[in-house]
C-alpha cells in the first residue's frame, strides 16, 4: 500500500538555531502519534541538513534536501552533489520545485538528469510539477502537467518508481493563500495516476504517492487529504510552525 507523506519544504528559512528548535519540536510532537502509514519529512536548507539529520536520529522524522546538482562533482561553484547529501545522511531530495524552475532556470531536460543522478545514487526523489495560473485559465493544466511528467520521468523503467514520490503544486496556489479546491486537487491527482497507469500499468500507478502542495494549512488539510488520490502534502509556510505542521500531520 502506498504511504501517506507530509513533507515540510522550509525553503530559504530557518538558520541553525531555528533549525535545531523546529526539528526538536516536530520530533517531540510526532513521538506519540500513531503514524502507521504516514511518513513525516522536513527539508531544511543545505547548510543545516547535517544538523537536522543528527537531531532527527532515532525518531520518526525524516530529512530531505530541497535540491541537488546533476553532476557527480567538479567545477560547479555553489552546487551540491548527490554524494554530498548522502554523506550527511540525507536519503531524499526534492527536485523540480516551481521556484527552481522559475528563478533558477531548471528545465524539464535538466530535471531528467537530476532525477537520474539522484536515483543512481539511491536517493529517493520527491518530484514537483504544476501549472501556472494562465495555463489553468485556458484549460491547459492537464497538458502542462502531463508534459512535465513525461519529459522528466518517462525515460525511467517501472522499477524506478519505488523511489519516486510525485508532488503536484499548482504555481498559482504556492504562497498565495489560494488553495486548489479538494475537487480540483483530486481531479488532477486522478489524471496524474492515469498518466502513470497508461505508461507503466496500474500496479506502478497505484503504488506511487502523489502529494498536493500549495497553501495547505491546518484548516484545509483534512478535506484535501480525504480525497482518494491525494496521499499527503508538500507544505511551505505552514511547515515553519511546529503546531501547524503537526496539525497537518494529524489530518490523516
SS (H, E, C) the chain: CCCEEEEEECCCCCCHHHHHHHHHHHHHHHHCCCCCCEEEEEECCHHHHHHHHHHHCCCCEEEEECCCCCCCCCCCCCCCCHHHHHHCCCCEEEECCHHHHHHCCCCHHHHHHHHHHHHHCCCEEEEEECCCHHHHHCCCHHHHHHHHHHHHHCCCCHHHHHHEEEEECCHHHCCCCCCCCHHHHHHHHHHHHHHHHHHHCHHHHHHCCEEEECCCCHHHHHHHHCCCCCCEEEECHHHHCHHHHHHHHCCC
Q: Is 169 a catalytic residue?
A: yes
- Minimum CB distance to ligand 13P smaller for 169 or for 229: 169
- Minimum CB distance to ligand 13P smaller for 161 or for 172: 172
Q: Determine which one of 69, 106, 169, 189 is catalytic.
A: 169
- Minimum CB distance to ligand 13P smaller for 133 or for 197: 133
What's the min distance (Å) between Cβ of 128 and ligand 13P?
Answer: 7
What's the min distance (Å) between Cβ of 214 and ligand 13P?
Answer: 5
- Minimum CB distance to ligand 13P smaller for 85 or for 238: 238
- Residue whose Cβ sits closest to ligand 13P: 236
Pairing of strands 38-43, 4-9: parallel
- Minimum CB distance to ligand 13P smaller for 44 or for 236: 236
What's the min distance (Å) between Cβ of 177 and ligand 13P?
Answer: 8
Residue among 202, 251, 200 nearest 227 (CA): 251
What's the min distance (Å) between Cβ of 10 and ligand 13P?
Answer: 9
Q: Are 64 and 126 in contact (CB under 8 A)?
A: yes
Q: Determine which one of 62, 97, 99, 106 is catalytic.
A: 97
- Give me the residues that bind ligand 13P (CB under 6 A), please: 9, 97, 169, 174-175, 213-216, 234-238
What's the min distance (Å) between Cβ of 240 and ligand 13P?
Answer: 9
- Residues known to be catalytic: 97, 169
Amino acid at each position: 500500500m502506498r504511504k501517506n507523506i507530509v513533507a515540510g519544504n522550509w525553503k530559504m528559512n530557518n538558520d541553525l538555531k531555528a533549525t535545531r528548535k523546529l526539528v526538536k519540536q516536530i520530533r517531540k510532537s510526532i513521538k506519540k502519534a500513531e503514524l502507521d502509514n504516514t511518513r513525516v519529512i522536513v527539508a531544511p536548507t543545505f547548510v543545516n541538513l547535517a544538523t537536522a539529520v543528527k537531531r532527527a536520529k532515532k525518531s520518526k522524522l525524516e530529512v530531505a534536501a530541497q535540491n541537488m546538482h546533476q553532476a557527480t562533482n567538479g567545477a560547479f561553484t555553489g552546487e551540491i552533489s548527490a554524494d554530498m547529501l548522502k554523506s550527511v545522511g540525507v536519503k531524499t531530495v526534492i527536485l523540480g520545485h516551481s521556484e527552481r524552475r522559475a528563478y533558477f532556470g531548471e528545465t524539464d531536460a535538466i530535471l531528467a538528469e537530476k532525477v537520474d543522478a539522484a536515483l543512481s545514487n539511491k536517493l529517493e526523489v520527491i518530484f514537483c510539477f504544476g501549472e501556472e495560473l494562465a495555463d489553468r485559465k485556458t484549460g491547459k493544466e492537464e497538458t502542462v502537467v502531463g508534459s512535465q511528467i513525461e519529459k522528466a520521468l518517462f525515460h525511467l523503467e517501472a522499477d524506478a518508481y519505488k523511489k519516486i514520490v510525485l508532488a503536484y503544486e499548482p504555481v498559482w496556489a504556492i504562497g498565495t493563500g489560494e488553495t486548489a479546491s479538494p475537487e480540483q486537487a483530486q481531479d488532477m491527482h486522478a489524471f496524474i495516476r492515469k498518466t502513470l497507469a497508461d505508461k507503466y500499468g496500474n500496479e506502478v500507478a497505484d503504488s506511487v504517492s502523489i502529494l498536493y502542495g500549495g497553501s495547505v494549512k491546518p484548516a484545509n488539510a483534512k478535506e484535501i487529504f480525504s480525497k482518494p488520490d491525494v496521499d499527503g502534502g508538500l507544505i511551505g509556510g505552514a511547515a515553519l510552525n511546529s503546531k501547524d505542521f503537526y496539525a497537518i500531520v494529524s489530518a490523516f
